[in-house]
Structure 1
Amino acid sequence: MAGGRLEVYWSPNSPDKFLTWGSDLSLYQVKNTSGRDDIASAHNFQISSNSRAYQLGSFTDVAFAKCLAWLPVPELEGVIAIGQTNGRILLTSVLGPGETSPFHGKEYASKHNRQCNAVSWGLTEPYILAAGFEKHRSEHGLILWDVAKGVNDSNRPIMEMAFGDTITSVTWFNHSHTMVTGVNSKQLRLYDFRDGTKHTGSTNTRAVFSIVQDPFVNHRFASYSDTSVCIWDVRNFEKPVLSLQQNKTVSKISWCPTHHSFLGVLCKESTSLSLYDIQNANGLAAEEMEPIPLERGLILTENGETISSFAWHLNEENRLLYSTSLLNIKEHIVVDRITLNWSPSSKLVWNCGKKILQYIDETDSVYGRFSDFSVIMRQRAVEGYGLEADFKPDSELMQDVTTRELWCWVDTCRKLAQSGNPLGINFMGIRSALRLDTDGVMKSEMFQVPWNGVESAKISPITVYRSEERNQALRLCGWPYDPENSILGPLLEKLQADGQVSRSAALSVFHMKIRKAIKILTRSGVQKNQVSYQLVALALAGFTDNRETLWQQEICSMQKNALDDPYLRATFAFLTSPSEKYESVLNETGMSVRDRIGFACNFLSDTHLSEFIEYLNRQLTKEGNLDGMLLTGLSTDGLNLLQSHVDKTGDIQTVSLLSLHASNQEVSKDGRMQQWVNSYRSLLDSWRLWTQRAKFDVQFYKGNPSGVEKPPQQVYVSCNYCGKGISVFSGGKSKLPFSRSSPNVKSKLTGCPNCRNPLPRCAVCMMHLGSPLASWGGPTEHISKKPSINVASSVSGVTSKKSHPFASWILWCQTCRHGGHSAHLLEWFAEHSECPVTGCSCRCLNLDTIGHHIPVIANGHD
């Protein structure tokens, strides 16, 4: 071919063979190269990382070749029809002459010397060869031969069509004797060679080149002209259903045989292949607008190397073979766009072409890389996170670093509220305790506190500050707030019991009890065989406040830098601090926020304390750190912090559960909090955690927060006669005329309070619904003698019919509408699956997909 262009074709007969057409015709076989180390040569080359092409045969006499077609007969692999510029069509076998290639060397020709533009083998009858020629005034442009005929008749055409016309391209339709041709560069025609020489349809267009039929849609094909690709539907042949405009001249188009409605378009001098998914163009085009296909560009080459040709593999999904301007041949797998579905229950499903769906969930190790916080929220919800009335901040559910300090603050506020402290009642924070949120001025008293357990003559006392506001802040931090430090001892013992040895020692030093800290570290070091604790205790024993001593300049500096524990680093930073600002201690982020604030409330002056609190508040709010709730409390600033936390983590669970404690607060009216609550309730619904959702609603509406109304009743029991509700109380108003019933009196209704007609009877005991629950004589004696609620006890946990709170409630099947007392129906369906009503064949029990009782629970009255 001119210009060194190289065409490639996958075999229509074998999945591992392809043909190249350049200066010669060559047939190759693709083999897996795993474990091979072949040296590249003219007869083999690498086409991908795991496959190599080996030459099986070649044909060099292609000087006049204009077009070719591969015979789609597996038994005759390698037989090619070559259309030439001199009007001849040569049949040859790339594998050479032999018993398997009886057509090798055969020739067909038109009567006059003219160029052959296109050749195509039939699909329904593969030995029918169609050829399109240049125009001649005395000969047909489209000629058909049957190459399977005898020698005497094989060169004689079986049909001639398109007299005096130029045929630029021709292709056969699948499963039919119809073909479509490009005529005179201005028309497309349909021919059925069973109906004679007349065409069966036509349309005027310039897109008459490289006609290719859609392998999945028999009535659709594509063609191109210059920079336009047209999609046609033979059922509406007047105009194309879709036009695809290109920036360059089109050189080849081809449908993917393994992907529905997938068309590849190659332009001249291009380094990429355009792929169009026209699945939205399956029907007829609209009168005013065309469907919009999905387009993607597939870059295949680099360094200016352009694509010469490409071919889809006929069997393997999205496998592509292409050639380049440098005569290189490579293969490529086109990766489909992934359709992804991520369910609320952490199930991730996506497609993988025509293969089975890929699926992972939170139990797969790879899922952990997604950092899906919803998995943690769902597990917490199942385990009752934040719903218990007397929760413990140190429980396993509260051990997450982002929430533990928050719930410790909540627990502290609840304990303060029990003693009547307004800080706890209103869930205030440190800023409120110090009156920083109201621009109040702190007036603290300064005290000199001596060290306990050391020689006070050699060590100067420490300056501390005291005020009622600071005491309130220390209460919120859980620090000792009285001069005698009465709660320090129990606090240190609890920390040691919890394994927080370093924190216990640090708090001892922060309260000037250095001998106590040495004992804690020494004892823990011996018990746990921790040499580091003993070394720290030894270093503390030599404490002195003289800045020029070896202890201050060498030992403490070296020890502090070598310590991994933040509390021990803060301890030495406190003992060696050059100023009363204590920056090294307050900037120790490894310490909890409440300990840093407690330290600041003890040792910082009023000015430095307010500066530190405001700085820390801004920092924690910006980070969305829930530790900052200790500073802001349940206020507008607190909601800003919670919003920042939700924006960064998506943890609407914690902020929604926090609203359970803000039922009587002004912030409960804020739209953000209501939005968090509604989002969390919807999330529980999507997880189908109905029980957890119900518990959350009970806790949420128990406080009856202002601005939030309880949901109205949604299910009613109505009378069969008048259609009105038969509930005794609805919305707090009595439904009984002239009733003076008290809400404490449980009314028993046996008839409709409106029309006085009797209520339906229980299908088991035959008593009117609403009457006192009585035992019934079951179908067998042993049923009536055993406790009738044993069946219900497995569901509700009760052991006696009388103690069962829902024993007399109305229950019915929504299929047959028969029902009765819940206790009687539970007892009945323990032995039967069919409805207790005589003549009813409804198997109510089998309709239930959740439990082993009647399928649909209805409302009733007690």
Structure 2
Amino acid sequence: MGLIKKVLNWSNDSEYDYLSVNPTREEVAHYRVDPENEDDNSIVKMNTVKDFDSITCLDYSDIDVGLVGIGEKNGIVRLFNIVPDSSLSNNFNLRVRAKQQRTVNSIGISSNGLIAIGMERNRHDPSLQIWDINYQSTDSNVVNPSFSYCLNETLVSLKFLDDTTIITGTTKLLKEIDLRSPNPVYQHPTRLSYDIKINPFNCWQFTTYGDDGTLAIWDRRKLSTSPTSNEFLETQPLLKFEKLMGSGMATRRFSNACFRWSVLRSGEFTTLHAGQVIRRWRLGSVPQEENRSSDGEEQELSSKPHDVESLFVSAVHDINTTFDRVATFDYIPRVSGVTNFICMRQSGTIYRMSLDEGISKAAFNSNNDVLFSNNDRSYVEELRITNNDDSLEANHIAKEMKNLSFEDLDISEGELQFEIEESESISPQGDEDDSQLEDADDGASANREMSSSGNYSFLLKPEQLLQNDISMIMKRRALLGYGLDPMSTVELIDCSKSLQNNAYIRNTWRWLSIAKASVDDGTMVSGELDLGYEGILGIWNALDGLSKQDRYRQGTIFTEKQLNKELEKIIQMRGKNKSRGGNSNGLSTFANSNKPIQRKLCMIISGWDLTPADYEEKYQNLIKLNHYEKAAGWAVFFGDVTRAIEILSSAKKERLRLIATAIAGYLAYKDQPGNNAWRQQCRRMSSELADPYLRVIFGFIADNDWWDILYESAISLRERLGVALRFLNDKDLTRFLERTASTVIKNGELEGLILTGITPSGIDLLQSYVDKTSDVQTAALISVFGCPRYFKNSQVQEWVQTYRILLNSWGLFSIRAKFDVLRTRLSRTSQNVITAKTKPRQLYIQCLKCNKNINKPAEASLSSRARQNSMMKNFTGTKKFGITNNAASNPQQKHSCPHCGTPFPRCAICLLPLGTSNLPIVISGRAENYDGKPTNPEDAELQELREAKRLKLNEWFSFCLSCNHGMHAGHAEEWFEKHLICPVPGCFCNCNK
């Protein structure tokens, strides 16, 4: 069989050299190939040497261009020059043989002129003979070996590792021989010893195969283990492929089995199968585990010789050859990394095969652009699909200045509605009926088409689908400041039409804003107890519900009695705040409860601790919105069926007035036991009516059973909680709360946080929500309100880190910084302890002379309070730009290094020292564009404050990291708006690039 082999280091130009042996093994040819030309004409035959007697092996010299050595079946070794214009003599042709002439199975040529030949066994003549071509006598055709090994062994393969090291394979052993030592470095018993090939990317690895075609990948470090150790006896190849090369390979060993390590890609090799399939194998490695000490600290990776990587097959890809009956092949490396092969058919024809693989991997980046990669290319293609316009604005809605309370939770129970009209007007009221939910996604209505079956189907273009993907929604939210302030987030959802304006998200942030207001004003904290962001279930279960959380002052042990006392204080505190606004007598609850305090506080948290004036006001608000059904349902929830009848009777719709007449029968039949026609009709209507509030009204008046309301999933969770807290006994209430909590956690219902709170159970709910929606942004922003202040959770850390990475990938670094600040601020406990792990400051300004931080050095020696007070008299406490400014007694310290006194650099524009406060000039910088004049005093004050901050920022340090010249930040903005070159005379640095 034929052989084709790539030659290294023979050409200094961009072309590659190849040596080939034709299938009849009678001639050797030299080819020159242009790798960048994919035409077959790029393969040029340079020379041919003929008249050989059955060639068995071939090798070449890396140093001497043109030097080729071949071994023949008759035992002759021939060394000749195949490149006429090389430094070797054109007539160089050396024919030698061993003393005991026999078949030459393998030949190797080292870079220093050593020739190694491996032959069949002989009792009197070693099978491995190594001699120097420079000292071989031309008068004798018998080899004069310098080194001899392997007496009475058949040597089937060999390979030079370097000038003094050879790996050899006999029919029974693998050996590594150092020519400086008479004994092998190691010898491993195996029959997998044919055709040694070294991995070009890892000199420790090499391959061999056996008589049955089994291929093995070895690591020399494992083979070099001491023969006396148990590891030596158990040494196995890194990988073994049973019968991969085909059976009987040893009998066909002169064919030089078609295995090739890739010269383009590390961890890849190819094999030829049936003359028509080239199979590409890609290997992966298992990373080594880090050793850890007993105290958990990481230690350095072990550097023992036998600690080698473990390999596995990561991918296999079959490639059909252009023509069949391929005998051998090799790689053609290309600059672009595209895989090409040079192939020889059994007829001896040489041709070139290009491999144009399709996309091997595609992935979306954080902007939903598609990234394509090909295993043969070193670059990644990007297909921009989404519109990355970050200029998003929300319709401004002025903040309503009022004291938030849990009683305001009823606002906007339904989906936020946007009229799909040209004006896209927004209703000023947020209270919407659940039965009238609408999707507010832009463009959805334009893609709505009627299907043939009569149902609606949504046909979205891929671009539109990706632009409305959750990752893009999260980015748009982040650009608008979503989640950084709960109340602002509610207003953002109200006014923005480009976000997912689901009612459950809005209601969750509404509850969170009220809970945050309660934490900020201290009405959820009493003495040793902190119930911030706690849910109804935790408060109802008392000590069991508050376990696994840091709700008590450290070292405090609470009893049920003490807990009830603290809960009562919280209720009284909230009652005082409420009494300032009017009547504080709320609705009555279940009379015979053993947990009246917990029940009362749960009513407060759920927003159902209302006075008669409160719920009468809510009736009127709902009636104004034509939500008569919901107003009547709320009247029933408050236990006032008569008021429900009045509400429905006042409706303009005749249908509702007729329903009011039917409900009025409750007043006549409520005290009559047993079944009757009126009750049966009410039950029928409770299952047939479309409106959920009418259904629960008829269900209740038919059986006088509150469970009909509690089982109605169309009614909001908060409404059902209000009914349960008022009318269920303790046992039924516990069962209802636990069952409902289990359901909302399993389904990831975000509004269920009012039940679980931001607690470990709430984190489980958020996890289900993330699994369902992939909205890691909302989960991270909500969870930081309770973690790590009240508890620690690894999942929250994962969400936070994922969201931070997302923000960084979008380039929203300022928003990410605001998120970090928010998380740190929220982690501060009622005892003023920060529980979040904050990263230390990463950037400092240092003096160019003393290389010290220009901040005022800490006076560690002044430990006593008196010394500190004395220091405060001598120094001002004002810090500006990281510099501690001294009093007037030390004026030189204002703009000089506090350590060595070196003056700060001067601004290249105004020549005033950097770091100086109260400058005699105003640095305007690049003016911001505001959309018109403010419409109200609050906006004017906000704009004025923002402008003052911007002007202060313009006085900060600004340095070029290339030329080290500095300017005020505002002056740098002004200069580089019109220039590219540094303003310092004689400096040609492009500072702005």
TM-score interval, smaller chain: 0.5 to 0.7
Q: Is the 8 A contact 1:171 1:211 kept in 2?
A: no
Tell me the SS of whatever aligns to 1:692.
helix
CA contact (8 A) 1:428 1:634 kept: yes
Give the aligned partner of residue 992 of structure 2: 848
Do the aligned residues in 2 keep the contact of 1:257 with 1:312 (CA within 8 Å)? no
SS at the partner of 1:255? strand
The one-letter code of the counterpart of 1:429 is G
Structure 1 pair 836–671 and aligned structure 2 pair: CA distance change class (3 A):
same
Alignment-derived partner of residue 429 in structure 1: 535
Give the secondary structure class of the aligned counterpart of 2:616. Answer: coil
In the alignment, the residues of structure 2 paired with residue 10 and residue 569 of structure 1 have an alpha-carbon distance, to the nearest angstrom, of 86
Q: CA deviation at 1:384?
A: 1.0
Contact 1:642 1:655 in 2 (8 A): yes
Q: Secondary structure at the match of 1:486?
A: helix
Q: Do 1:221 and 1:232's aligned partners in 2 also have CA atoms closer than 8 Å?
A: yes
CA contact (8 A) 2:258 2:329 kept: no
Identity of aligned residues (%): 18
Which residue of the partner structure matches residue 728 of structure 2? Answer: 604
Provide the C-alpha distance between the structure 1 equivalents of 2:878 and 2:701, rounded to a whole number of angstroms: 67
Mapped partners of 2:924, 2:948: distance in 1: 5
Structure 1: tracts of 5 or more residues without a match: 1-6, 13-64, 76-106, 111-115, 134-138, 148-157, 281-285, 302-307, 322-330, 443-462, 524-533, 777-786, 850-862
Alignment of 1:332-481 (within 5 A): 351-355=373-377, 356-357=379-380, 359=382, 363=386, 365=462, 377-388=474-485, 390-393=487-490, 395-396=492-493, 399-400=501-502, 403-413=505-515, 422=524, 426-431=532-537, 465=590, 472-479=601-608, 481=610
User: How many Å apart are 1:593 and its aligned residue?
Assistant: 1.9
- Which of 260, 267, 288 is equivalent to 1:255? 260
Tell me the CA shift for residue 354 of structure 1: 0.8
Give the secondary-structure state (helix, strand or coil) at the position aligned to 1:695: helix
Distance across 2 between alignment mates of 1:826 and 1:833: 11
Structure 1 pair 624–667 and aligned structure 2 pair: CA distance change class (3 A): farther
Could you tell me how far apart the structure 1 residues matched to 2:105 and 2:629 are? Answer: 87
Equivalences for 1:62-77 in 2 at 5 Å? none
1:707: which partner in 2? 833
Show the counterpart of 1:692: 815
Matches within 5 A, 1:251-330: 251=249, 253-255=258-260, 260=265, 262-264=268-270, 275=281, 277=283, 288-289=305-306, 292=309, 294-296=311-313, 317=339
Offset of 1:575 from its aligned partner?
A: 5.1
Note closer, same or farther for the CA distance 1:66–1:243 as it changes in structure 2 (3 Å cut). farther
Superposition TM-score, scaled by structure 2 size = 0.50
Which range moves more in the overlay, 501-510 or 366-375?
A: 366-375
Q: Does 1:819 align with 2:971?
A: no
1:112-261 pair list within 5 angstroms:
118=56, 132-133=72-73, 140=75, 161-162=96-97, 165-167=101-103, 183-184=119-120, 204-206=168-170, 211=195, 223-226=208-211, 229=215, 246=240, 248=242, 251=249, 253-255=258-260, 260=265
Aligned to 1:482: 611
2:687 aligned to which of 531, 548, 560? 560
The 3-state SS of whatever aligns with 1:580 is coil
Q: Deviations over 1:739-759 (max 9, x none)?
A: 274769996774127689684
Amino acid at match of 1:226: D
Report if the CA contact (8 A) 1:349-1:358 is conserved.
yes
Q: How has the CA–CA distance of structure 1 residues 723 and 411 changed in structure 2, closer, same or farther, with 3 Å as cutoff? A: closer
Letter in 1 for 2:952: P
Residue type matched to 2:951 in 1? H
Aligned counterparts of 1:750 and 1:71: Cα–Cα separation in 2: 89
CA contact (8 A) 1:117 1:168 kept: no
Distance (Å, rounded) in 1 between the aligned partners of 2:272 and 2:777: 53
Amino acid at match of 1:600: A
What residue number does 1:580 align with?
705
1:557 and 1:802 mapped to 2: Cα distance? Answer: 66
Matched ranges for 1:511-590 at <5 A: 512=641, 514-515=644-645, 542=662, 557=684, 560=687, 563=690, 570=696, 573-574=699-700, 576=702, 578=703, 580=705, 582=707, 584-590=708-714
CA RMSD of aligned residues (A): 7.0
TM-score, normalised via structure 1 length: 0.56
Q: Quick one: structure 1 residues 200 and 659, their matched pair in 2 at CA, closer, same or farther if it must change by over 3 Å?
A: same
1:752 is aligned to 2:774 = no
Q: Is the 8 A contact 1:165 1:183 kept in 2?
A: no
C-alpha displacement at 1:255, in angstroms? 1.5
Corresponding residue SS for 1:296: strand
- The answer as to whether partners of 1:253 and 1:263 remain within 8 angstroms in 2 is no
Closer/same/farther in 2, CA of residues 287 and 762 from structure 1, 3 Å limit: closer
Whole-Å Cα distance in 1 between the matches of residues 327 and 872 of structure 2? Answer: 87
Q: Name the counterpart of 2:874.
A: 739
Q: 1:541 & 1:555 partners in 2: Cα distance?
A: 12
What SS does the aligned partner of 2:380 have?
strand
User: Is the aligned partner of 1:613 residue 2:737?
Assistant: yes
Q: Pick closer, same or farther for the CA change 1:297–1:638 going to 2, 3 Å.
A: closer
CA distance in 1, matches of 2:713, 2:796: 33
Equivalent-residue separation in structure 2 for 1:310 and 1:522 (angstroms): 92
Change (3 A) 1:739 1:542: same
- Secondary structure at 1:805 match in 2: helix
What's the secondary structure of 1:399's corresponding residue? coil
Q: Give the Cα–Cα distance (whole angstroms) in 2 for the partners of residues 768 and 122 of structure 1.
A: 71
CA contact under 8 A between 1:409 and 1:476: conserved in structure 2?
no
1:591 Cα offset (Å): 3.7
Structure 2 counterparts to residues 638-653 of structure 1, below 5 A: 638=762, 653=777
Letter in 2 for 1:477: S
8 Å contact 1:339–1:351 — kept in the other structure?
A: yes
Alpha-carbon separation, structure 1, partners of 2:69 and 2:912: 88
| Structure 2 residue aligned with 1:679 | 801
* Aligned pairs, number: 672
Q: Contact 1:719–1:725 (CA<8 Å) still a contact in 2?
A: no
Matched AA of 1:789:
S
Task: Give, as a single letter, the amino acid of the residue that structure 2 aligns with 1:689.
Answer: L
Give a deviation string over 1:386-408, Cα, whole Å, max 9, x none: 11363253743683577444323
Asked if the contact 1:502/1:567 (under 8 Å) is kept, the reply is yes
Q: Which string of whole-angstrom CA distances, capped at 9 and with x for unpartnered residues, describes residues 371-419 of structure 1?
A: 9976654443332111136325374368357744432322343566799
Q: Which runs of 5+ in 2 are unaligned?
A: 6-21, 33-49, 83-92, 148-157, 159-165, 172-191, 226-234, 250-256, 287-302, 319-324, 333-337, 344-352, 388-461, 494-498, 545-559, 568-587, 880-884, 931-942
Q: Secondary structure at the match of 2:705?
A: coil
- In 2 relative to 1, CA 597–560 (structure 1 residues): closer, same or farther, beyond 3 Å? same
Q: Deviations over 1:766-787 (max 9, x none)?
A: 44556675667xxxxxxxxxx8
Deviations 1:457-483 (A, max 9, x none): xxxxxx985778656544433457334
Task: Give the equivalent residue in structure 2 for 1:93.
Answer: none
Return the offset for 1:708.
1.1
Larger Rg: 1
Q: Which amino acid is 2:705 matched to?
A: E
SS at match of 1:226: coil
1:801-851 CA-to-partner distances (Å, cap 9, x unmatched) read 9993345444444444443555555555555554455x45154xx3235xx
Matched to 1:690, the amino acid is F
Structure 1 residue 427, shift from structure 2 partner = 3.6
Residue identity in the other structure for 2:844: V
